[in-house]
Every structure is written in C-alpha cells, then in structure tokens.
Amino acid sequence: MPRAVVLLSGGLDSTTAAAIARAEGFKPCALTVAYGQVHAVELEAARQVALALGITDHRVISVDLGSFGGSALLGDGAIPKDRPLAEIGAPGDVPSTYVPARNTILLALALGFCETLGARDIYIGVNVLDASGYPDCRPEFVAAFERLANVATRVQGIRIHAPLIAMTKAEIIRRGLELGVDYAITHSCYDPAADGGACGGCDACILRKKGFSEAGVADPTRYAAR
Amino acid sequence: MPRAVVLLSGGLDSTTAAAIARAEGFKPCALTVAYGQVHAVELEAARQVALALGITDHRVISVDLGSFGGSALLGDGAIPKDRPLAEIGAPGDVPSTYVPARNTILLALALGFCETLGARDIYIGVNVLDASGYPDCRPEFVAAFERLANVATRVQGIRIHAPLIAMTKAEIIRRGLELGVDYAITHSCYDPAADGGACGGCDACILRKKGFSEAGVADPTRYAAR
C-alpha cells in the first residue's frame, strides 16, 4: 500500500481527511505540528485519532510560531466569540484566529516528511465552505502549493489532496461517519476549558455545531459549562 | 525604510544577500532557522553577521527536521569529502547533504514572519552556479514560491528576491566586498571542527575556496588542522 502523509491536527476536518486517505488506498502517515497553538489540547486529540485510525507512523514536530505572533490562536488577542454565522467566512473577512502562513508552513513540513518517506501524496483537510475565510484554505492555494512541490524536491508527481475543499461541514461529517470516524475523540474548539471541554462560542465550535445539526446526527462534542 | 525578511544562515551567500537587501533600500529583519543542522556553529555566525550588518531584529526559530532525517546535514550519514569540482552540482546529482524540502520550509517560515511584520519582501541567498545541485536552489523553485506566497496570505505583492541566483561564487564575494561584508565572520563548512574551524574538504568549503581564489582575494576562512 503506498504511503501518504496526512496533516493531522486532531480536529474534525483533518481526521476525516485521514480516513479518506485510507479509504483511497493509502497507508496514512500522520504529521502533527505543535506550532504554539493556545488550544494545545488538540495535540492529544491527534494522538487518539491516530490510534483509532490505526496509524502507526505519527510524527509530532514543534515550531514556535508564537515567536512571530500575529494571531489570536497564538495568544495574541482574544478568541472571537458568538459571532453570527453570516459573519464567519464572509467575503473579505479574515478573522484574528488566522495564523500567518500556517498552512504554507504545515505543507512545507509535510513535503519534507513525504520526501524522506519516499512518498508522493499529501492530504490536508482544508475547506472553503463552512470555514473561517482563511486565505490558505482556498483551492488556488492548494494548487499553487502542488506546483511548488513539484519543483522543490527530488520527487516528481507529488499530489496535494484536499478532499474536503468543496464540502460543507455536514457533508464532511456524513462522509466521516460512513468511514467509521468517531468524532467524539476529535477536538475543534479554539478556546477549550482547562479540562478540554469545548467553549461552544468560537468560530470553530459554531461551524462544528452547525455541521452536526445539518447532518442530522447527534453532536458528540463535550462542551464546557458556560 | 521598508522592511524585508532575510533568511540568514550565517554563511557566505545569505550574508551577501542581507547586505544586498540593505543596499537595495530595505531595513533587513533576519530569520535564522535552527533545523537540526550538524554544523550548528553557523547559528553563532548568523548572530555575529546580524550584529555586523546592524540588523536589530534577528529571530531564531527552531524546527527539528532531524526527526524526519534523510540528510547528512541532519546527521544521517557522513558528509561527503574531497569530491572533484566537476562532480559538485553536476546535472542530476543531488548530494547527501540535501535536506528534504529545506528551502520550502525556510521560505514558509519567512513568509509567516513577513506577514506579521507587515512587510512584502523576502531575500534568500540561493544560487545555482557554484552550488551543490539542490533542487530548491533553482530559479523555477523561487518563482513557484513567489506565486504561492501571493495566494497564501492576506498580503498582495509579495516578492521573493534571490539576488545571487545567477552569480558565481567569485561574483558573490566581489559584490559583498563592495558592500563592506566581512567574510571572516561567516561560516560555510558542513563539518567544522569542535572549535568551529572549517574542514576544507566538504562541498561547501570547496566551493567557498574556489570563490575566493577566482575573485583573486585572500581567503579569510579559519581552517581546522587536517
């Protein structure tokens, strides 16, 4: 079975992307990046997800993007809460939770891992619908990275797979459930309580709740008392 | 004066690129990446170079590419020594000192730093002549990264400057000397002695020596006893 690198944050999207990689005939090798995110509890979720999906090669690499700052996800300012759905991902709106160049950095690291494995396939769980309006989640970003990857290394034929890119959150959840994903162990919240409970009010929580609601399935998320 | 991010390893090329950025009207902000290189002495050289060039914003960020391995520069195998000049950078030859996706990772980190600074210009000291045949030192790589950068962030008009790309090592040295660069404080060797002395036999030493010789200037490098 050919190997594929899967960027795994431990969230709903990347977990589904990993399950899809497996369903598409790859042996997923997971890469989790500890980049200074305030919601570091997702790193433990990534470990549990890798275990549940039977991923035996799971690397965790650290790079302290907090030293650049510039994002609420890096502790620079408060996480926005209780925004109306119409505002989240509205055209031209890039929220304060955007981390400068994050997905470029994640894919660059995945490319290094991919080349050392002798693999040619990388999965990333970005999507543009029901998402936060980050520039590095758009199809043109993924396509530009793929073009770069194919002149950056010794490897030819590198493919960047973004299987969720045009799916709604509800479609992502339905696909994951078909593939046996246990969303109870995934973590999406940007501002969890000390015990890991989801806040329910950040953009990530709002989009996740909307997804389960529209998919018509019970939301397995453990929310903190508010 | 507009700011520019300069990737600064402490070597001859990146030091010259930093001096060129300043000569081209930018205030250089330096980024040095501790990526697990066995020649970590270059990190101290980067600090001295930043000081000498009057760079007041110098960030050092760590990312352990050694956990992927796959390169003699990461301690995976011996550094090749005393290769004939005709072999170094020969078409199709990528030596074992190549670090998978290194320049993609370096530029991705520079892009994050650039965006948080509110800058639009990044300098990198890659070159293809008198170089080691790494795929991520070629003009098509730099062009592809620039195209990526302009869809990856909130910033428009990002430029990736590679002012050395078509210069020989001798030309780089002559340009640096015109700009007042002190090459004695720069470090190129892949396999330095414990006291930091250059080995004189690795590809980086060979190309550096050839550069000083062809430029007709005294080589200020401190070599270890062999």
User: Does residue A159 belong to any structural domain of this protein?
Assistant: yes
Q: Residue range B140-168: average pLDDT?
A: 97
Q: Residue range B78-106: average pLDDT?
A: 94
User: Does residue A223 belong to any structural domain of this protein?
Assistant: no
Q: What is the pLDDT of residue B130?
A: 83
User: Does residue A225 belong to any structural domain of this protein?
Assistant: no
Neighbours of A93 (CB within 10 A): 12
Are the Cβ atoms of B153 and A136 closer than 8 angstroms? Answer: yes
Tens of pLDDT along chain A (226 residues) come to 999 999 999 999 999 999 999 999 999 999 999 999 998 999 999 999 999 999 999 999 999 999 999 999 999 999 999 999 999 988 888 999 999 999 999 999 999 999 999 999 999 999 998 888 899 999 999 999 999 999 999 999 999 999 999 999 999 999 999 999 999 999 999 999 998 999 999 999 999 999 999 999 999 999 998 6
Token digits for A135? Answer: 């520039």
Token digits for B91? Answer: 């078409």
Angle at A200 between CA A195 and CA A204, to 5 degrees: 100
**Given CB atoms, is B152 within the 8 Å cutoff of chain A?**
yes
User: Does residue B224 belong to any structural domain of this protein?
Assistant: no
Which of A62, A136, A138, A148 to mutate to probe the B interface, most B CBs <10 Å?
A: A148
pLDDT above 80: residue B226: no
Q: Residue range B140-148: average pLDDT?
A: 98
**Percent of chain B surpassing pLDDT 70:** 100
Beta strands A121-123 and B27-34 are: unpaired
Residues B50, B58: Cα–Cα separation, whole Å: 7
User: CATH number for the domain including B201?
Assistant: 3.40.50.620
Which chain B residues in 69-88 lie under 8 Å from chain A, judged by CB atoms?
Answer: 69-70
User: Does residue A226 belong to any structural domain of this protein?
Assistant: no
Which of A37, A64, A96, A105 to mutate to probe the B interface, most B CBs <10 Å?
A: A105
User: Does residue B135 belong to any structural domain of this protein?
Assistant: yes
Residues B148, B101: Cα–Cα separation, whole Å: 15
Taking the CA of residue B124 and the nearest CA in chain A, the distance in Å comes to 15
Residues B206, A142: Cα–Cα separation, whole Å: 39
Q: What is the pLDDT of residue A18?
A: 98
Q: Residue range B8-34: average pLDDT?
A: 98
Q: What is the pLDDT of residue A226?
A: 64
Nearest CB to B105; choose among A70, A112, A154: A112
Are the Cβ atoms of A101 and B111 closer than 8 angstroms? Answer: yes
Query: How many distinct structural domains can be found in chain B?
Result: 1
Nearest CB to B108; choose among A59, A105, A113: A105
Distance of CA B21 to the CA centre of its chain: 14
Token digits for A132? Answer: 């936060």
Q: What is the pLDDT of residue B191?
A: 96
Token digits for B68? Answer: 């992927």
Are the Cβ atoms of A61 and B64 closer than 8 angstroms? Answer: yes
Q: What is the pLDDT of residue A127?
A: 94
Nearest CB to A148; choose among B98, B113, B148: B148
User: Does residue A222 belong to any structural domain of this protein?
Assistant: no
Token digits for B45? Answer: 């050289």
Nearest CA in chain A to B34: A63
Residues from chain A that touch B94, judged by Cβ atoms under 8 A, are: 154
Residues from chain B that touch A113, judged by Cβ atoms under 8 A, are: 68, 100
Taking the CA of residue B121 and the nearest CA in chain A, the distance in Å comes to 14
Angle at B8 between CA B6 and CA B13, to 5 degrees: 100
- Containing domain of residue B65, as a range? 3-215
Q: Where are the beta strands (DSSP E) in chain A?
A: 3-7, 27-34, 58-62, 121-123, 159-161
| Alpha-helical runs (H) found in chain B | 12-23, 41-52, 102-117, 139-152, 169-178, 203-215
Sign of CA dihedral B148, A190, A52, A171: negative
| Mean pLDDT estimate for chain B | 96
Are the Cβ atoms of A104 and B63 closer than 8 angstroms? Answer: no
User: Does residue B221 belong to any structural domain of this protein?
Assistant: no
